[in-house]
Amino acid sequence: MSSDNDLARAAWAAMQAFVQGADRRRALHAELDIGNDKAELLISLARAPMTLREISRAFDVDPSAATVAVDRLERRGFVRREAHPDDKRSKLVSLTDKGRQAAATAHRIITDPPAALLALDADRLAALTRILTDLTAENPRP
């Protein structure tokens, strides 16, 4: 039994080391000088403009944190605030052209597989995908 536990610990350590080694935060900072939270916000805004209230709810942050995040992105030229067409009391946050480019870059950085995965042959990728899919199904997110 302890050998199974040892193997599980070794597998867990290897998975953590791989994920940490493929951490995209460094790439986001190097290419865009933003963190993961701002990258996710840009990607969300690429789908559709949002009000500050919608941003606050979507990212589960208080309204002041949403305002600070938008302020920082606005200073970088990635977003702009405009009057909401249906509610003059609200501001709609949308991407600028520079922001759309940054969102596309962030999306690429976050979603492109690391080189180590790309180097695996199809059989090993299929096996890894099956294992990870099984693990995810056994331990769904709350």
Query: pLDDT for 25-81, tens place per residue?
Result: 888 999 999 999 999 999 999 999 999 999 999 999 999 999 999 999 999 999 999
| Confidence at residue 2, expressed as pLDDT on a 0 to 100 scale | 64
- In a domain? residue 86: yes
* Separation between Cα atoms, residue 63 and residue 136, nearest integer Å: 33
Whether residue 93 contacts residue 49, with contact meaning beta carbons closer than 8 Å, is answered with: yes
H or E segment and range at residue 33: none
Residue 120 lies in a domain: yes
pTM value is: 0.79
- Confidence at residue 63, expressed as pLDDT on a 0 to 100 scale: 92
Read off the pLDDT of residues 70-123 as tens digits, 9 standing for 90 and up. Answer: 999 999 999 999 988 888 888 899 999 999 999 999 999 999 999 899 999 999
Chain Cα centroid distance, residue 91: 24
Q: Where are the beta strands (DSSP E) in 7-132?
A: 50-51, 79-83, 91-95
pLDDT at 1 over 60: no
Please give the residue range of the domain that contains residue 135.
Answer: 114-142
Residue 91 included in any domain: yes
- pLDDT band at residue 19 under the 50/70/90 scheme: confident
10: in domain: no
Query: Within a domain: residue 118?
Result: yes
In total, how many domains does the chain have? 2
**Looking at the structure, do residues 56 and 81 belong to the same domain, yes or no?**
yes
- Among candidates 21, 26, 60, which has minimal Cα distance to 41? 60
Residues 37 and 95 in one domain: yes
Strand order in 91-95's β-sheet? 50-51, 91-95, 79-83
